[in-house]
Structure 1
Amino acid sequence: MSRALENRIALVTGASRGIGRAVALELARNGAHVIALARTQGALEELDDDIRAVGSAATLVPCDLKDFVALDRLGQAVYERWGKLDILVGNAGLLGPVSPLAHIDPPQWDEVMAVNVTANYRLIRSFDALMRASDAGRAVFISSGAGNKANLSPYKGLYATSKAALDAIARTWAAETQTTSNVKVMVINPGYVRTKMRAQLMPGEDPSTVAPPESVAPKIVAMCMPEWTETGRIFDVPSDALHNFRGPA
C-alpha cells in the first residue's frame, strides 16, 4: 500500500470508536502519525495496538473535549514536539436529546454545543498556526445533513443547530485561510453510518442495514491528502458528490 501520508501528523477527535476510529486507522495505513483523542483510555489503547499492526505509530490523548484548557495544552505540546499539524479531523460529537426545543434542559443544550461547536472552535484556536506551518494543512469536520436540509426534522433541533454552527465555523476558517496559507478546510456529511449515535437515534434499526464506518473513512482521508485542492465545501457521502453550501453570497 502507498504510504502517501508518511511523516505527516494527524489529529483525530473521537478516535476511540465509530467514524473516528476508522479514520484514525485509515490515516495510519497511509503512513500518518496519529494523535488520537478520546475520553476512553482502554479503547485508545486498543486503537494503538491496531495502528502498530499496520506499521504506524500513535500518540494517545485521553481527554474530554469540554476540557478546553487541555486542548490549549495539546496545541503547545504538538508545537514543541513537531512544530506543525498537517491534518485535523474534527469527528467527535453528541446527539443530545431528541425532543421538542422547549423541553430541552439548559445543561443538555450547553453540553451538546460545547462538544459539537465550541470544542471545534477551540481546536482551530489552538492549531491554526500549526496548520499554517504545514506545507499542506488539511482539516475535515464531520457534520450532518441535519443542519443544512431545506426542511429540518422536528425534535432534532439541538443537534441540527450544533451542526449548522459547525458548518459556519468551518466555512469561515476556509475563507480566512484560502488566500493566506496552504490550509484546506472541508466538511463532510457521512450519511447513515453504523455508529453508537445512530443506534441511539434509531434503536430498532438492524445495524447490518447501515453502512459501517470503514466505508466512509477512505472518503475522509482523501480530503486529508496533500493533493486535495477544494476548500470551504461539503462532501455529501449519500450523493457521493461535492456541494457548495446553500444560501446567499
Structure 2
Amino acid sequence: MDIDLKDRIALVTGASRGIGYFTALELAKRGAHVIACARTVGGLEELDDAIRAVGGTATLVPFDLADMAAIDKLGGSIFERWGKLDILVANAGVLGTISPIGHVEAKVFEKVMTINVNATWRLIRSVEPLLLKSDAGRALILSSAAAHKCKPFWGPYSASKAAVEALARTWAGETQRTALRILSIDPGPTRTAMRAQAVPGEDPSTVPHPSEVAEALMPLLGPDMTETGKLFIVREKKIVDYNMPS
C-alpha cells in the first residue's frame, strides 16, 4: 500500500538504530519531515544521511529519554517551529536484565520503568496538544508480546510493556471523539540489538529485518487509519489485529 505522508511532521524516538531508525527512514521516503530523537548522535547522523539520500528531510534531537525536562521542552519546541505534530512513534525502550524478579537490582528496574513507561507518559503529555492540532494525528506505541506472555525472568520488561499498552488504550478512550487515532504495536521478533541481548545465540537471519517491520507499520500512521485503542501485531510483513485468530 502506498501511504502518502507528504508535508506531515513525524516524531520518532529511539531513531538511531533498529525499528526506530528504519521507521524514521520509511516515513521520510513517504514525504514526512522526521523529528528523530535518540541518545546516540552518530546513529542519528547516519539516519540523516540515509534520509537525505532518499530525498527526505529530518531534524535531529539528541537527548536521553531519562531527561524528563527535555521531554517537556520538546513539545514547546515543536510548536514554535511547526505548530502541530501529525505522527508520534514512541519506539525507544530498554530491556533491563533477564533475571528472577527477586534478583533484579533496584536501579535496573527503575531504569526500565523510567525509559519505557515514565518517558512514554511524559512524551504523551508533551505532544498531545500538538497531535490534536493535526487534521489526522496518529500515535503508535511500541509494545511487545512480553506484555501478554509474562515469561519467567522477564518481569521488568513485561510489566513495562503492559503499562504502556494500558496508557495507549486509556489515551485512545479519552480522545476517541477527536481526529487523533492511537494504536499499540507488537513488532514481533525482529533483528535488533535488543533481540540479540534477549536471545543470545539466535541466528539473526531467522528473524525479520527491522526495515521489513518498519514498512509494515506505515498503514497505521496514514490519514486513512480509522481504528483507535487497538493492539496490532506484525506477522509475515503484515499488520494483524491482536484479537483475530492466527
Specify the SS of the correspondent of 2:184: strand
Listed as ranges, the matches of 1:187-226 within 5 Å are 187-226=184-223
Specify the SS of the correspondent of 2:231: strand
Q: Gaps (5+ residues) in structure 1?
A: none
Q: Deviations over 1:125-164 (max 9, x none)?
A: 0001000000000000110011123xx2100011000000
Q: Deviations over 1:31-88 (max 9, x none)?
A: 0000000001111011001101111100000010010100111110000011100000
The change in CA–CA distance for 1:135 and 1:162 in structure 2 (over 3 A counts) is same
- The answer for the alignment partner of 1:49 in structure 2 is 49
Could you tell me how far 1:2 is from its partner in structure 2? 5.8
Segments ≥4 residues shifted beyond 6 Å: none
Could you tell me how far 1:196 is from its partner in structure 2? 0.3
1:171 to 169, 172, 175: 169
CA distance in 2, matches of 1:166, 1:2: 29
Could you tell me how far 1:243 is from its partner in structure 2? 2.7
- The answer for the alignment partner of 2:37 in structure 1 is 37
CA distance in 1, matches of 2:84, 2:161: 27
Could you tell me how far 1:3 is from its partner in structure 2? 6.8
- The answer for the alignment partner of 1:161 in structure 2 is 159
- The answer for the alignment partner of 1:143 in structure 2 is 143
Query: Could you tell which deviates more after superposition, 19-28 or 234-243?
Result: 234-243
Contact 2:3/2:222 (8 A) holds in 1: no
CA distance in 2, matches of 1:144, 1:231: 18
CA distance in 1, matches of 2:215, 2:115: 24
Amino acid at match of 2:240: A
Specify the SS of the correspondent of 2:26: helix
Could you tell me how far 1:203 is from its partner in structure 2? 1.4
Specify the SS of the correspondent of 1:188: strand
Amino acid at match of 2:229: G
Q: Gaps (5+ residues) in structure 2?
A: none
CA distance in 2, matches of 1:232, 1:157: 24
**Matching of residue 119 in structure 1 with residue 84 in structure 2:** no
Contact 1:3/1:31 (8 A) holds in 2: no
CA distance in 2, matches of 1:60, 1:12: 10
Identity across the alignment (%): 56
Q: Deviations over 1:165-191 (max 9, x none)?
A: 010000011001101x10000001111
Could you tell me how far 1:219 is from its partner in structure 2? 2.0
Specify the SS of the correspondent of 1:10: strand
Contact 2:89/2:140 (8 A) holds in 1: yes
Could you tell me how far 1:244 is from its partner in structure 2? 4.6
The change in CA–CA distance for 1:3 and 1:146 in structure 2 (over 3 A counts) is closer
Amino acid at match of 1:146: A
Specify the SS of the correspondent of 2:235: coil
CA distance in 1, matches of 2:204, 2:241: 27
- The answer for the alignment partner of 1:25 in structure 2 is 25
What count of residue pairs does the alignment treat as equivalent?
Answer: 242
Contact 1:138/1:183 (8 A) holds in 2: yes
CA distance in 2, matches of 1:191, 1:105: 27
Specify the SS of the correspondent of 2:221: coil
What RMSD over aligned residues (CA atoms) do the two structures have, in Å?
Answer: 1.5
Specify the SS of the correspondent of 1:119: helix
